[in-house]
A and B are shown apart, each in its own frame.
Chain A
């Protein structure tokens, strides 16, 4: 079974922020995770663009306040451009 978009993003965040995937929830955000600074936010954006082969606009990046919202934005973009 293919992992969901949320699970894949959780895995990316786990790799980048060096915390176990189980500890990352939809509510995890720069406020709740110390390692998630602006530098890591850029890495997160790049890793998502690389993984899902898409481009996030500055407006979308602005809305990426927590893992749940990130997953929602990516899901929306994947539906809009079926591969």
Chain B
């Protein structure tokens, strides 16, 4: 009887798998539990089991500190459980109650000892600006602006002190509005209102974030408003346990935190692969035909239109769109090309697999075609069977669970943290168009006699430049995202890149590539460090978009020549193998470097600069930012 019950008990199954040492299977079951239950109890269960599996399953380590003016401990297990579902092992340090200012200002505080990767500053309006919150009606307009200024100055002072002591990302909560303004309706009739005063502080925070690297604004006020101010708060818990948030909203707070951690850790999806029938339109095109499928501004077609709108927003954020669908190609293409309700057309999709093969196979082919890893794919399909097939065949793919109701599809997609970005580069916004050009380029390549003819035809121009304020964000982003052509896979934040560039003997360079098909934007990074007679390559990476076109040789040649120019006689560097950087494995040996050392981490290569310098391929024109050429 007991064992009969256990069969259907996911928790018992997880514990049995852990005892049996089946770590990966246990992890899969824990993920399943996380999808089925989201409350505080299951979160505690998940966190405890993940700790037991720690070291036995591949997870990215990440350290988060939370500074706060209220009790938020109960949200932490939910955050850690959700982080596990994104492949993170999250360690959390919670600052002492209401001690956030001291912890920021004291360089010896437990905050800095914890050495966090990211810090959240969560302070309530009532605690930071009690006069604006509780005593607003007694304040003169001058006193209001004084209070506002005082709060903004405090933030400025904390942000500056924090940056002097830590390179971690800092996420600052905005101040929330009161559910009922103290002056009632009058508040809306005057520019010197309570609402306005708090908005001014939040506006100022956004301003500070725009001016500072690694500072991000968490719009706590908007989050509270989204779920309803009156329902969000729990006055009784506040008065008894200093916990101002109602039990059922803690999960929303922890999920919103996670949305920041996903892009910060690089656990993002680069492409969204969608099904067609009953996903981006209602009905089955092969059976219902062009006039039968549901896709229009009215119910029920509006639900699918709304999903397409959400997909379009993602594509403008730099996320590639692709199709993996079981249909007859002609039926599907007719709808994609000609259906009057479609917002998305074939040119919006960077890859398509419309056939009757397994979806997991289609996804592998799409990843290969787009030159991105399988773990960079997210998959959207209304059919739970297809989702399960993909989940079990390709556990690294982010499989999005769609609810039964199509009206919820768009919201589900928009909520998905793997599509979050904290900065947006020009490259991101044009990415889908660039991949379209890529297809043309691949067709051109096939029609040439030799590789060299093709390279000449491309008319490539490469601009190599030291890091500047306008390229810093993109450079850091490339170190965080590039997996395949990356010799050392060292991930850097903007603060770290900027610190390296400021150190003597260090060079941080970026390369921008243009060719006859278009501008690829900033696609490569090299970081070097001079020491004695040697110049060591710390980082050397290229976006997969330009691999295999000798751009890498041009960049390396530039490094060698400039090292000679600075009087160095040796160029050297590590190759640190990862699961994904096989395309760069032969890089040093192909360019005449000698293997000097090998250990469990990787191999160390050197090139004597007194010999033949590495030649820049004649078909690439190099430009340097001061306008000169070489």
User: In the bound complex, do residue B42 and residue A15 qualify as a contact, i.e. CB atoms below 8 Å apart?
Assistant: yes
Q: Are A16 and B41 in contact, with the CB atoms below 8 A?
A: yes
Cβ-defined contact, B248 with A49, below 8 A: yes
Pair A12/B234 contact, Cβ less than 8 Å: no
Q: Which of A26-34, A51-59, A74-82 contacts B (4 or more CB under 8 A)?
A: A51-59
How far apart are B246's CB and chain A's nearest CB, in angstroms?
Answer: 8
B39 and A47 contact, CB distance less than 8 A: yes
Residues of B in contact with A (beta carbons under 8 Å apart): 11, 39-42, 44-45, 48, 71, 73-74, 77, 234, 236, 239-241, 243, 246-248, 250
Q: Is the interface of A mostly helix, strand, loop or mixed?
A: helix
A47: which of B41, B71, B239, B243 is its contact (CB, 8 Å)?
A: B41
A11 to B12, CA, bound (A): 12
B80 nearest CB across to chain A (Å): 13
Q: For the complex, give the distance between the alpha carbons of A75 and B74 in Å.
A: 24
| Chain B hits for A43, CB < 8 A | 40, 44, 73-74, 77
Q: Do A15 and B45 form a contact, CB below 8 Å, given A47-B39, A47-B40, A50-B248?
A: yes
Complex CA gap A53/B73 in Å reads: 20
B236 touches A49 (CB 8 A): no
Say yes or no: A55 contacts B234, CB within 8 Å.
yes
Partner of B247 from the list A11, A18, A46, A61 (CB cut-off 8 Å) is: A46
Given A12-B41, A43-B40, A43-B73, 4 additional A-B pairs, CB 8 A: A43-B77, A46-B40, A51-B39, A51-B41
Q: Which residues of A contact B77 (CB under 8 A)?
A: 43
Please name the residue on chain A nearest to B240 by beta carbon: A58
Most-contacted residue by chain B among A16, A43, A46, A47 (CB, 10 A): A46
Query: Is the beta-carbon distance between A50 and B39 smaller than 8 angstroms?
Result: yes
A39 on the B face (CB < 8 A):
yes
Interface string of A17-39 (1 = CB under 8 A from B): 01000000000000000000001
B250 A46 Cβ-Cβ under 8 A? yes
* Cα of A47 to Cα of B48 in the assembled complex, Å: 16
A78 to B39 CA separation, bound complex (whole angstroms)? 19
B247 and A50 form a contact (CB under 8 A): yes
Q: List 10 A-B contacts (CB under 8 A).
A: A15-B42, A18-B44, A42-B71, A42-B73, A43-B44, A46-B74, A47-B247, A49-B246, A50-B248, A51-B41
CB distance from B327 to the nearest CB of A (A): 42
Give chain B residues whose Cβ lies under 8 Å from the Cβ of A55: 234, 236
A50 to B28, CA, bound (A): 25
Question: Inside 8 A of B250's CB, which chain A residues have their CB?
Answer: 46
CA distance A42 to B74 in the complex (A): 8
Q: Which residue of B lies closest to A40 (CB)?
A: B44
Which residues of the partner chain B approach A39 to less than 8 Å between Cβ atoms?
73
Residue of A nearest to B15 (CB): A20
- Residues from chain B with a CB closer than 8 A to the CB of A42 are 71, 73-74, 241, 243
- Nearest Cβ in chain A — how far from B249, in angstroms? 10
Complex Cα distance, B40 from A39, in Å, reads 13
User: Given A11, A18, A61, which contacts B240 in the complex, CB threshold below 8 Å?
Assistant: A61
Complex-state Cα separation, A55 to B41, whole angstroms: 16
Q: Chain B's nearest CB lies how many Å from the CB of A79?
A: 21
Q: Would you call B236 and A58 a contact (CB within 8 A)? A: yes
